[in-house]
Amino acid sequence: MPPTIIQDINQHNFHEVLRPTPFHPRVDHNCLTKNWMDWNGYLTARTYDTLAAEYFAIRSSCSVMDLTPMGKYRINGPDANKFLNRLVTRDVSMLRPQRVSYVVMCNDEGKVLDDATIFHLSEGDYRLCCQHHQLDWLMISSLGMDVSIEEETHDVAALAVQGPTSASALKLAGIDEIEQLKPYDILHTQLHGFEVMVSRTGYTGDLGYELWTSPDNALNLWDAIFEVKQKGFYDIRTIGLSALEMVRIEAGFILPGDDFNTAETAIRADRVRSPYEVGLGWVVNLDKPSFTGKRALLDEKKKPIKRRLLRLEVSGNKAPQDSFLYAGKGGKRIGTIMTQIWSPILKANLAMADVEFAGGSQPNDIWAEIYYQKELEWRVSWAKGKVWNKPFWTHPRRSASPPGSY
């Protein structure tokens, strides 16, 4: 059976520069700032009303984000598992149906192309979700295998419902079995007569779920959730990508393409990164006999690590945006801040930093040189960095099962 691609280019209205998601009528209604941005070609809200309110919705109540633009690929056929296991560095041969696994894909040189989540929907039927467009790579990878790859980014509408009260809110919305879901579980259920898939997954580091349905039912799904708010049970707020950026850095999740160049987009030879260099060594199963990138990663493992993406807390109150990093104040330049945020909950500047490891070891005195403006005049200051080996922020309810009611 040859691999199949179904793309609904024909359905695209090219008068729209960016494509609205199936939730757009509601998104547009809620988005007071009209602060739009492009995410994989979709019209996406950067913020809805105020960033702080959106952020605190995630951290202290319940947030809803339109996840539709995420790249989604349906993978099945006799060789589906073989295909996936060769595609990713983690061993997914034992991934059970109704379970999700976080994975990373490398090229033959062992450099990261993207991270992804594999949803084992039902026996032999998988969905792969990734940050970037990966259809090309998936098609190339499928040559010689009996597997079907279908782009379904546009055929599945998805919402992330995240925050301490997300389970309680979804239960009230009508998803009775929500409490049974353990982290990375999948549930296929009915809501007001239409099919919804719920997974206990997310990008916030807190308790949270992702809900998947057909575009036809998108508005019904949205309304079912917001009904809980209208009835006055829980506050539920829409959040945009800016708030998500804050919580994902707090939670220590990486963002390929922002925190580092993905292998396919990098032009300069030294810009590509291995999973070890971006802190994803834990999803590399070198004991798996073979996968794409294995030979290169085995070699790399034998040598001292050259650099790493570090979680860096930068002291003071100045944003270390795009800052260079130095070994000691005014010392040798050893790295760059890739992404950074101010964390309201930790009251700290948190950053993802690309740092050289001379001789394979982590520098112990990292300083950031911060340029900032005072009334349009540039100033410079120095701030010391502190490396976090764990996520900056986590909460036990993220993995508590059943989740407590908040």
| Identity of the residue, 253 or 291, whose beta carbon is nearer to another protein in the bound complex | 291
Minimum gap (Å) between residue 148 Cβ and another protein: 16
Minimum gap (Å) between residue 276 Cβ and another protein: 16
* DSSP category for residue 282: G
Q: What is the DSSP string of 86-130?
A: HHBSS--TTPPTTEEEEEEEE-TTS-EEEEEEEEEEETTEEEEEE
Element (H, E) at 381: strand 377-388
Q: Judged by CB under 8 A, which stretch of 58-66, 133-141, 184-192, 367-375 contacts another protein?
A: 133-141
| Identity of the residue, 70 or 87, whose beta carbon is nearer to another protein in the bound complex | 87
Residue 79 and residue 98: Cα distance in Å, rounded? 19
| Identity of the residue, 148 or 292, whose beta carbon is nearer to another protein in the bound complex | 292
Q: What is the DSSP string of 178-222?
A: GGGPPTTBEEEEEETTEEEEEE---SSSSSEEEEEE-GGGHHHHH
Residue 58 and residue 208: Cα distance in Å, rounded? 9
- Pick from 9, 13, 15, 144: which binds another protein (CB under 8 A)? 144
SS3 of 298, please? helix
| Identity of the residue, 213 or 292, whose beta carbon is nearer to another protein in the bound complex | 292
Residue 406 and residue 403: Cα distance in Å, rounded? 9
Name which of residues 42 to 71 contact another protein (CB under 8 A).
Answer: none
Closest CA to 254 of 293, 317, 207, 308: 308
For residues 266 to 295, the per-residue mask of contacts with another protein, x marking binding by CB under 8 A and - elsewhere, is: --------------------xxxxxxxxxx
Minimum gap (Å) between residue 81 Cβ and another protein: 10
- Pick from 26, 57, 59, 79: which binds another protein (CB under 8 A)? 79
Minimum gap (Å) between residue 85 Cβ and another protein: 8
Rounded (5°) CA angle 36-342-328: 130
Residue 145 within binding range of another protein, rule CB under 8 A: yes
Minimum gap (Å) between residue 136 Cβ and another protein: 11
* DSSP category for residue 61: S
CB neighbour list of residue 7: distance below 8 Å, 6 or more residues apart: 151
- CA distances from residue 339 to 5, 42, 252, 303 in whole angstroms, order as listed: 35, 23, 11, 28
Element (H, E) at 166: helix 166-173
Minimum gap (Å) between residue 287 Cβ and another protein: 4
Q: Judged by CB under 8 A, which stretch of 2-10, 137-145, 334-342, 372-380 contacts another protein?
A: 137-145
Q: Judged by CB under 8 A, which stretch of 64-72, 125-133, 139-147, 202-210 contacts another protein?
A: 139-147
CB neighbour list of residue 26: distance below 8 Å, 6 or more residues apart: 219, 222, 223, 226
Q: Judged by CB under 8 A, which stretch of 82-90, 332-340, 345-353, 361-369 contacts another protein?
A: 82-90
Q: Is 152 annotated as a binding residue?
A: no
Closest CA to 243 of 53, 37, 4, 10: 53
Residue 301 within binding range of another protein, rule CB under 8 A: no
Residue 401 and residue 182: Cα distance in Å, rounded? 6
Residue 298 within binding range of another protein, rule CB under 8 A: yes
Minimum gap (Å) between residue 271 Cβ and another protein: 18
- Pick from 108, 177, 223, 365: which binds another protein (CB under 8 A)? 108
Residue 137 within binding range of another protein, rule CB under 8 A: yes
Minimum gap (Å) between residue 83 Cβ and another protein: 8
| Identity of the residue, 199 or 292, whose beta carbon is nearer to another protein in the bound complex | 292
Size of the site for another protein (CB under 8 A): 23
Residue 143 within binding range of another protein, rule CB under 8 A: yes
Give the count of alpha carbons within 13 A of 52, CB side only. 2
Minimum gap (Å) between residue 267 Cβ and another protein: 17
Query: Taking the C-alpha atoms of 81, 156, 218 and 23 in order, what is their torsion angle to the nearest 10 degrees?
Result: 130
List residues forming the annotated binding site for substrate: 210
List residues forming the annotated binding site: 210
Residues that bind another protein (CB under 8 A): 79, 82, 86-87, 107-108, 137, 140-141, 143-145, 286-295, 298
